[in-house]
Structure 1
Amino acid sequence: MADNRKPEITKKQIRAEVLAKRDALSEIQRKSAAESVYNQVINDPLFIKAKRVLGFMPFGSEIDIKPILEYALAGGKEVFVPRITTNGFHKEMEFRKVKDVDPVHFAFGKYKILEPSEECDPFEYNEAEAMMLPARDLVLLPGVAFDKYNKRVGYGGGYYDRFLEDKLTLRIHSIAVCHACQIVDYEIPEDEGDVRPYKVVCS
């Protein structure tokens, strides 16, 4: 059996390689990619069934999913986006409910990413409800690189891995969204605690 892993490559090297490609995309390419991902996601059964969508505010050259979140809000879904909280030296990601995704209603957080106010209602995950309504919640997941096995390289903080790891058995689904240049043709190294998205949607 062929070994698809790239010899001796590290996640740090993958980040540098893929982010350089993503950052080099033109504005036209980025807009076209966002439209492609938008059409795929809003027609995906996981999105259609979801009552609550956990998205993110795009940063830098990430896929712009704000139109997806706007579509979700217009369709009566609840939308949540993350903010980073600090307790001493410990940092965690929490999701807060938003009523729109206009950047003027957000503030820059620790990583210079737009975040909702801490006054916004928090996302609450109820295990009993999740077991009864397994398709209710959907996470739209950012990332740096993905392979054909849905293995993911994030930005190194592990926030999404920790958020998803104790919820997978209760079937909270996640769709990773990315540009085509973020799909690598080799197997990504995987560490303990890494969580793969349910599926990957790319432009």
Structure 2
Amino acid sequence: MAAVRAAKQALRKEIKRRVTALSDEEKQRQSLVLSRQLFRHPKYVSCKRIAVFLSMGDEVRTEEIIKDVFKCGKSCFIPRYESSSSSSSSSHMDMLKLNSLQDMETLPLTSWNIRQPAEDDNSREEALSAGGLDLILMPGLGFDESGKRLGRGKGFYDTYLERCVRHPKGKPYTIALAFKEQLCQEIPVDDNDVLIDEVLYEKDE
């Protein structure tokens, strides 16, 4: 276990270095390419209930995707990460319904500088308490072609996907959005890591 943890830490550093070297224009360009790939994807076209992450600076931008989700009349869910004060290792996350683009702009900012519903906001539907999810767009630091994912080490998505598996609808299809610079030959994984169904990245024609 310690060896896997050390390997992950080293890889996180290396990927962060590669992504930091990307210009904002290049991140934006790759993000638009991936958004267009996603809009043609059969799983996206057919999905009714989709979970989308609100991107941080080192992640594929998801603003265009969220706009399209509303334009297509799909139900959009976004993560609320719980930072439990009692235990720094808490990895509880819910996917809460986002009502509109305007709704997104009024959400409070977290210490990670991403917007999410406030901890005391109980008015929103949680995806798993109702109809489940058809598709989850997955963030992450690194990915390989076989669907292994390197997260930030907190386990939010792995834990959430385990909850999805127990939902009557079953596990949603998972698609990761990656800059080319986030692809790796092989990601070291342990037993808690959940594989992703598909990794979308810009392929050289």
SS class of match (1:139): strand
SS class of match (1:114): coil
In the alignment, is the contact (CA less than 8 A) between 2:96 and 2:127 conserved in 1?
no
In terms of fraction of residues, the more strand-rich structure is 1
The question of 1:37 aligning with 2:34 is answered yes
Match of 1:3 in 2: none
SS class of match (2:94): strand
CA distance in 1, matches of 2:67, 2:7: 36
TM-score by length of 2: 0.84
What RMSD, in angstroms, separates the aligned Cα atoms of the two structures?
2.3
- List aligned pairs for 1:121-140, cutoff 5 A: 121-125=124-128, 137-140=134-137
* Aligned-pair CA distance for 1:106: 1.8
Q: Say if 1:53 and 1:120 are closer, same or farther in 2 by CA, change over 3 A.
A: farther
In the alignment, is the contact (CA less than 8 A) between 1:18 and 1:144 conserved in 2?
yes
SS class of match (2:16): helix
- List aligned pairs for 1:108-119, cutoff 5 A: 108-117=109-118, 118-119=121-122
Give the counterpart letter for 2:180 in structure 1: A
CA distance in 2, matches of 1:141, 1:25: 20
Deviations 1:82-128 (CA, angstroms, capped at 9, x unpaired): 1122453244111111123455312122433221242451323269x
CA distance in 2, matches of 1:71, 1:84: 24
Match of 2:108 in 1: 107
In the alignment, is the contact (CA less than 8 A) between 1:153 and 1:188 conserved in 2?
yes
The percentage of aligned residue pairs carrying the same residue is: 26
Match of 1:193 in 2: 192
* Aligned-pair CA distance for 1:171: 3.4
Moved more, 70-79 or 95-104: 95-104
* Aligned-pair CA distance for 1:154: 0.4
In the alignment, is the contact (CA less than 8 A) between 2:97 and 2:126 conserved in 1?
yes
Deviations 1:114-162 (CA, angstroms, capped at 9, x unpaired): 21242451323269x66xxxxx511000000011211010011100000
